[in-house]
């Protein structure tokens, strides 16, 4: 039986029934499984990045979360509206990102994961987008899950980039469930899509040897029903499979 590519999924550290827990919501794990991948949850202790574990992975997914990257990580004061932290995740993920990229491992960032990649590259974040002049209110709408994950605004895809290469249309309509967003783009990152208000909605890592994309919206919600989300997961799965094949294939020995 063919081995599924093994994808590490970054956890959040939250209290559950009075105890610290490392957790990932099912929608991320189910989406990966649905596209032929085998997800494994990565705990977020500060020293959790181990070479033996990295050597066993074929991809890395950075999930969304209700928590935010601590503002001290990008050198600004905390806004009063920014109240949810996960310092354990911050410490772990800011080591996982460069470690995975150094290996050329496929990397997909979603929402908080998108913001983490920007911070890892020295970028900054708007903590309260709805208070930035000219910006839309990108926060999730009130209502049930169908309402929260419904398409909320258009994006324009930048021609000629990795995102445009995997999706033939010039734009799409995406959901929006975030209060924070990119302020200054990190050096070494490229904007791949923007919202009508100019807010960056997708990025890639310049010069990455393989798949290295992140999006501000949530493509993991019923991805088969949305052509752009389907294309993202199809491309990530294909890249992870190619990485797995290269990882397990015997290397030729010089004569």
Write out the catalytic residue numbers.
111, 218, 220
Contact (Cβ atoms closer than 8 angstroms) between residue 152 and residue 176: yes
Which DSSP helix (H) or strand (E) runs through 191? strand 189-194
Whose tokens are 């030729």? That residue is: 252
Rounded to whole angstroms, how far apart are CA atoms 103 and 158?
A: 27
Contact (Cβ atoms closer than 8 angstroms) between residue 245 and residue 210: no
Contact (Cβ atoms closer than 8 angstroms) between residue 157 and residue 195: no
Contact (Cβ atoms closer than 8 angstroms) between residue 237 and residue 35: yes
């Amino acid at each position: 039986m063919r081995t599924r590519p093994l994808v590490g999924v970054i956890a959040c550290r939250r209290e559950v029934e009075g105890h610290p827990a490392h957790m990932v919501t099912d929608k991320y794990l189910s989406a990966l499984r649905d596209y032929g991948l085998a997800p494994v949850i990565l705990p977020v202790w500060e020293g959790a990045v181990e070479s033996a574990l990295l050597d066993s992975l074929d991809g890395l997914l950075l999930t969304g979360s209700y928590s935010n990257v601590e503002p001290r990580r990008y050198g600004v004061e905390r806004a009063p509206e920014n109240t949810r932290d996960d310092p354990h995740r911050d410490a772990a993920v800011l080591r996982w990102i460069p470690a995975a990229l150094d290996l050329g491992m496929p990397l997909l960032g979603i929402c908080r994961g998108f913001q983490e990649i920007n911070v890892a590259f020295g970028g900054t974040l708007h903590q309260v987008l709805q208070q930035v002049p000219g910006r839309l209110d990108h926060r999730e709408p009130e209502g049930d899950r169908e309402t929260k994950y419904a398409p909320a605004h258009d994006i324009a895809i930048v021609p000629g980039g990795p995102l445009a290469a995997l999706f033939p249309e010039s734009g799409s309509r995406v959901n929006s469930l975030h209060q924070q967003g990119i302020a200054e783009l990190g050096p070494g990152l490229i904007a791949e899509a923007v919202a009508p208000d100019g807010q960056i909605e997708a990025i890639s890592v310049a010069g990455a040897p393989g798949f290295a994309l992140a999006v501000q919206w949530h493509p993991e919600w019923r991805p088969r029903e949305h052509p752009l989300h389907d294309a993202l997961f199809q491309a990530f799965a294909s890249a992870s499979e190619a990485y797995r094949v290269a990882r397990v294939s015997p290397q030729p020995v010089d004569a």
